[in-house]
Amino acid sequence: MFESDAERGQTLAKNTFYKLKKMLDNSYKWKWISLIFTISTTAFLVISVSVWVVKDRQIKAAKLPSCALDSDRQLSRSKRQASQNDVFAAITSEEIDEVLEYLYADMVLNLTKPDEAAIDSSFIHTIELQPPRKQNVLDYLSGLSKQPERMAKVLIFRGDVTPPVLQEYIVGPLSNISEARVMNTSARKTTIPYNFRPFSSFEFKAIYKHIITYIARRAGHVLRESYNATPLDCGRQCLRFSMTPISSAFLSKGERKSWFWFAYDIEFYTLHPLDFQYRVNMTSANPKEWTIENVWYANQMFSSLDEFLTAYTCGNINKTVMSFPSAEENKYSSLHFREPFFPEAVLRPPIQVEPDGTRINIADNEIHYLAWDLKYRMSPTVGLQLFDVKFDGERILYEISLQEVVVTYSGFSPSARMLNYADSAGLFGTRCRGLLPSVDCPANARFLNTHLYSANEGGHRTYENAMCVFEHTTNTPIRRHRAYGRIGAFYGGLVSSVLVVRTILSVINYDYIYDFYFYQTGAVEVKISLTGYLGTTFHIPEENPYGVHIKEGINAGIHNHLFHMKVDLDVKGTENRFETLDLKVENKTDPWVDGGHHVQTYYERNVKKTELEAICNYNFSAPKYFLVSSHNETSAQGLPRSFRLLPRGMSNMLVNPNYGFSSSIPWARQQVAVTQHKDEEETSTSIFAMWDASDPVVDFAKYIEDDENIVGEGYSGMGHPWNSTYTAD
């Protein structure tokens, strides 16, 4: 069949129409596809960027963990709730705010906030929890009474009153404050002379403004000519100062003086001392009245800065001439890697892992590990404290804490011979921060933050990674035995794993790694390891008997580190006694050999009845075991239930205990001391010990000299280098 021309024309027109329609339809389809693709691409980019940002934050957070398991979950809970539920918990941020609001409203105190404070104003230095009475706490924990009220202890600098003083206030009860009173106790002073004040950032600001600036203006040419550096406007060749407080035992009543010296401000400055020293009278609360009294330069003493400058200008003295250390010369005191690298092969060291996850549980201020349960608190003054330490459900320690770290130096120059530091003046709690995974603690450790109030740190501050908790395998069997025999043989052993609670105190040049070890046997060990940098003085021949000449111009002085611990030990309750097993030698007739005799050791049990009897100055010729025993509980064999005290690393203080700075640290006279527990005898020292030797704020000697009964009592034990004291309830 054939189409006509008209039909063919119609068919062609239809086909053309459908082709055009299809083209148009496809065009719209591609436009929609393009639009959908654009929207999808944009969404994908937004999601990708979001994921990248989140991952970046996660990566940054992973670099400095802060106990991301238990602790972070607890952060969502109210800090106030945690404190209300636990009598040992540190004062919270909210409670600190309540204390501040209450005290700032007191017009009589005339308090200045940290951002405006000065050494001659009144300001709050520290705020922390005031521990409740122990018996009240024990009654509460036993369900016999309600929870003791929480109170705050506040140290206030009152530099704007006449005469200026330091005062410790008790403020509370927290959450409903109704009073703020000066602490009242016969065990220590609570209104303290202003010349005993601990270090503060405001005093250092005043030193820079009124002393360093004055020295730079008057003696800047001497510093440039002698050391090729100055303390101000110095570019890359700067000097920095260090300070040696002079104990009040060497001063007239009410005076406050310090020796200052310069060092090159490079890594690390304590290894670059110089021989320009000057003594400053800082007695007045008004820093404008501070004066420079003496100058020591090139092994010569001058009675004033003017006398020194005159002698220097006239050329009547020996002059020191030194060059600012080059980068190469500074390598010995820096942390830069040396070459060739050691070890040359880049092989990672062994690491410890938890194959089945952690066995540690941390909630609020509680730590649980196997049979151990304990609670912790960080104090701005004392640092880390552990409370209510239980093994297998039974309390064995009410408290264990560091009390003081003292460093005593010897030397020839005026600043070196006065260099005695009681480090608690720097506030231990604020010196614990920034622990790094895989270096300071194992990578799998649990890192915990703390929140403290100190005017030195601007008031409120959270200290990240202030402590860490981890399980550690000692790689020594806690017990093992391999038996051999004809009939049979066997082997039995158990790996020793311990819980470690660690913090690190960084005080000027020293770092103290401070560990509590909790063993599966029920034993507790406290270990302090030292690292950091040496403290040095400028070397002159006269320094030789007092140290070692380690580098040209640098002398490392002989010094002694003393650590003091408080241990409140409860053995089967609080009715305890302190006793020693005295090892002796007997020479007796041998009953089994006719006419023979035998020499051997034996022990005598010696119960100490009073505090003076319990003093232990260790004598290696008369060894003994130290025991804190239950006064009532015995074993099936009739022996008293006991914990052995094992002091290690002991040293003896050779300097007369009544001379100079020694009067501030009477706890250093014995390796072990035992005192009857008293709530008022809260600490064995104070943050004023650097200056207070003429009249100690806390005099530990008085804790012992009253010679109270310690039989059937609870014990607070203190110990020194190693040195510990145990308290009797």
Instruction: State the Cα–Cα distance between residues 661 and 247, nearest whole angstrom.
Output: 6
Query: For the whole model, what pTM was predicted?
Result: 0.85
| pLDDT > 80? residue 25 | no
| pLDDT > 90? residue 19 | no
pLDDT tens for residues 81-107? 445 568 999 999 999 999 999 999 999
pLDDT, average across residues 213-242: 96
Annotated catalytic residue: which of 70, 373, 423, 729? 423
Residue 9 or residue 592, greater confidence: 592
pLDDT tens for residues 187-210? 888 999 999 999 999 999 999 999
Task: Output the pLDDT for position 485.
Answer: 83
Question: Cα 197 from chain centroid?
Answer: 20
Annotated catalytic residue: which of 510, 512, 514, 726? 510
CATH of domain 201-333: 3.10.450.40
Task: Output the pLDDT for position 717.
Answer: 54
pLDDT tens for residues 297-309? 999 999 999 999 9
| pLDDT > 50? residue 457 | yes
Who's near 292: CB < 8 A, 6+ residues apart? 211, 214, 215, 278, 279, 280, 281, 304, 305
| pLDDT > 80? residue 546 | yes
pLDDT, average across residues 174-193: 93
Question: According to the per-residue pLDDT averaged within each range, which of 147-161, 313-327, 475-489, 649-663 is highest?
Answer: 147-161
Question: What region, left, alpha or beta, does residue 694 occupy, with left being phi > 0 and alpha being psi -120 to 50 degrees?
Answer: alpha
Give the model's confidence band at 502: pLDDT under 50 very low, under 70 low, under 90 confident, else very high.
very high
Instruction: State the Cα–Cα distance between residues 71 and 59, nearest whole angstrom.
Output: 19
Give the model's confidence band at 670: pLDDT under 50 very low, under 70 low, under 90 confident, else very high.
confident
| pLDDT > 80? residue 489 | yes
Phi, psi of 435 (to 5 degrees): -65, 135
| Sign of the dihedral through C-alpha 261, 267, 268, 272 | negative
Task: Output the pLDDT for position 186.
Answer: 87
| pLDDT > 60? residue 447 | yes
| HSE, side-chain direction, 13 A CA sphere, residue 108 | 3
Helix (H) or strand (E) holding 711, with range, is none
Instruction: State the Cα–Cα distance between residues 719 and 414, nearest whole angstrom.
Output: 31
Does residue 511 carry a catalytic annotation?
no
pLDDT tens for residues 683-708? 999 999 999 999 999 999 999 999 99
Taking the CA atoms of residue 140, residue 144, residue 146 and residue 150 in that order, the dihedral angle to the nearest 10 degrees is: -30
Residue 376 or residue 352, greater confidence: 376
Residue pair 471/518 in contact (Cβ under 8 Å)? The answer is no
Angle formed at CA 198 by CA 193 and CA 204, multiple of 5 degrees: 115
Task: Output the pLDDT for position 364.
Answer: 93
Does residue 423 carry a catalytic annotation?
yes
| Sign of the dihedral through C-alpha 279, 281, 285, 287 | negative
Instruction: Calculate Rg over the CA atoms of the chain.
Output: 34
High-pLDDT (> 70) share of the chain, %: 86
Give the model's confidence band at 242: pLDDT under 50 very low, under 70 low, under 90 confident, else very high.
very high
Question: Cα 624 from chain centroid?
Answer: 32
Question: What region, left, alpha or beta, does residue 666 occupy, with left being phi > 0 and alpha being psi -120 to 50 degrees?
Answer: alpha
pLDDT tens for residues 126-145? 999 999 999 999 999 999 99
DSSP assignments along 447-514, one per residue:
EEEEEEEEGGGTEEEEEEEEEEEEEEEEEEEEEEEEE--SS--EEEEEEEEEEEEEEEEEETTEEEEE
- The domain locations on the chain are 1-63, 79-196, 201-333, 558-729
* Mean confidence (pLDDT) of the chain: 87
Long-range contacts of 526-531 (CB under 8 A, 24+ apart): 526/400, 526/565, 528/402, 528/563, 530/561
Task: Output the pLDDT for position 76.
Answer: 33
pLDDT, average across residues 573-600: 93
Give the model's confidence band at 715: pLDDT under 50 very low, under 70 low, under 90 confident, else very high.
low
Residue pair 710/550 in contact (Cβ under 8 Å)? The answer is no
pLDDT, average across residues 443-460: 96
Task: Output the pLDDT for position 18.
Answer: 47
Phi, psi of 587 (to 5 degrees): -130, 95
Helix (H) or strand (E) holding 246, with range, is none
The reply to whether 558-729 shares the fold of 79-196 is no
CATH of domain 79-196: 3.10.450.40
Q: Is 329 helix (H, G, I), strand (E, B) or coil?
A: helix
Task: Output the pLDDT for position 722.
Answer: 38
Instruction: State the Cα–Cα distance between residues 695 and 595, nearest whole angstrom.
Output: 64
CATH 2.70.98.20 matches 558-729: yes
Q: What is the DSSP letter of 229?
A: -
| pLDDT > 70? residue 723 | no
Task: Output the pLDDT for position 336.
Answer: 80
Instruction: State the Cα–Cα distance between residues 584 and 604, nearest whole angstrom.
Output: 8
